[in-house]
Structure 1
Amino acid sequence: MVTIKDIARAANVSYSTVSKALNDSPLVKPETKTTILNKAKQLGYTPNFAAKHLVTKRTNTVGLVWPEINRVALTELARHVNKMMADEGKNILLSISDPTEAIALFSRMRSDAILLFEEDIPQNQLPAQLDMPLLSYGVPGINQFPTVGVQHEYAMELAVSTLVESGYSSIGYVGMVDGIGRRQLAKQTGYLDALKKRGLKPILIDTKGLNSIDGFTALSALLAKSPLPESLICSSYDIAVGTVRAIRQAGLTIPEDVALVSYDNIPQQAEADVPLTAVGVPVEKLAKSLVQELLRLIAGEEGLVRELVPELVVRASSHISKQ
């Protein structure tokens, strides 16, 4: 394995100069730093995070506890977080293991912090005391750990109110009904509260899962036995993709036969075959909030609980007047 001493011999400089250059110290002349970095690359040097941790107490790594690998919106969020953290000199390490196992792994690896995409296991079922900061992307309320979330109930209120104001009185909800995951339950609650407030009958279409095939299966089953409501609110982009496929396969058109609003606010919604009206926090804004809070925690600052306000973006999948 190539060491700092090997680079020092190749570049004909001292060990300490190489160490400073690799840590981007301003004490090293730019031309010397360039030479050292080039030699390190030529020799195939990779930093020893464990050794670096002994000196700096930092590994410049953040562990991401991931619930499922095939969810487009979460993938897009993770991609933005990864890029923003890389710009800060931090590396994202991803685990799709059970959350408790993943957290234990990142603890052994001495990661600087953990980002938990909270879903199957609420944060109060995790160890109360960790030897590193943990930030949850979840639903504020438990607050065992600092949390960044979205006002999911307001997102559903915004979707329902906009549909009603545009003349829709029959509004269905396509998502995992009474399932696990506090984010999903918050969306369902928001939908039910919004309809109750307006005296409308709820129409819950249970996907029993969170992937596009689950949306497709649920809508196909509904279409086989009853007509669709005038409009549908899908609980995620993935669910919306499956819903669109089922509707079109049945020979119906969007929004003429049924209007669609999709939770999430990611670029893929604008690029869909039927551009989707979306409600949620823009993914760049959400990622920026997560990264800012992670950096604060790594710096030793006190953690916060934040709820971001969703926005509604009107596209071709609904006959909604732009406000």
Structure 2
Amino acid sequence: MGARVSRTDFEWVYTEEPHASRRKIILEKYPEIKQLFGYDPLFKWIVTAMVLTQIAMMPIVQHMSWPVMLLVAYCFGGVINHSLMLAIHEIAHNLAFGHNRPMHNRIFGFFANLPIGIPMSISFKKYHLEHHRYQGDEVIDTDLPTLLEAKLFCTTGGKLVWLIFQPFFYAVRPLVVRPKDPTPLEFVNLIIQLFFDAIVVKLFGWKILAYMILGSLMAMGVHPVAGHFISEHYMFRKGFETYSYYGPLNWITFNVGYHNEHHDFPAVPGRRLPEVKRIAAEFYDDLPQHKSWSGVLYDFVTDPDIGPYARIKRKHHGLDS
């Protein structure tokens, strides 16, 4: 399984998360960044094109052998579905139609969710916004691995297994660490998704449902686009808890790689985050950054000093959202 990582506990700090204070400093110097706030009018058309592309693939994939289907799911369908998950991330911040039309955003989230095969758009939102507000909180921030995960998957082989099953941990961890009663919109999300999945099976067969769901799962595991899960907040440099990536995979992931910029300004849609970096370059250029998401995955597995323990955590003080 490989040598054990030298780290035996998370990195505990007693400072506030860094983004709120940096946001205030940047806006004092560059108030024009506020003009970038709002929603991206092109976003809904890009997402619609991706959903329709996946629907158009269904009669094509239907006639593929299972090995070919799995390859296409990994290399193509899963990439689109992962991009749709990141579209749901944008939608969680109301960046599809703006903050004054919350229900438009939620309904569009149901639509973006369809090719993914598993209902997630509403559940993601209720936990993700807490990740922003309480980054690193040992109880509230469910993006953090649990102590059990860190202990069980801290070897080279263990970390590889952990990456493969990362979708499972992302789905189950909130239910264990911070369970919440399901909301009515979560039931709506579930019903719409099950209805869509049933139609897909009726028209095209179970192989197409497998194409949708397995593509989603594979593209969240050991896959280049899934590198952002590790690159965003795992501590590759001591004391730094958020990292950006400025490479070409941003083109198909709504610029989620601009992650320092996103946490500093979550009201700025992904397409405008490069402009935030351009305006406030001196605040970002010298921060540690990643050059490759694939390289991040490789380093995560092979570097004995990096693993599930390599996260900055803060003690929970009873605050809540």
Pick the TM interval, shorter chain.
Answer: under 0.3
Greater share of residues in strand: 1
TM-score (norm 2): 0.21
- Say which one has the larger Rg: 1
**TM-score, with structure 1 as normaliser:** 0.21
| Bigger share in helix | 2
RCO higher in 1 or 2 (8 Å CA, sep ≥ 6)? 2
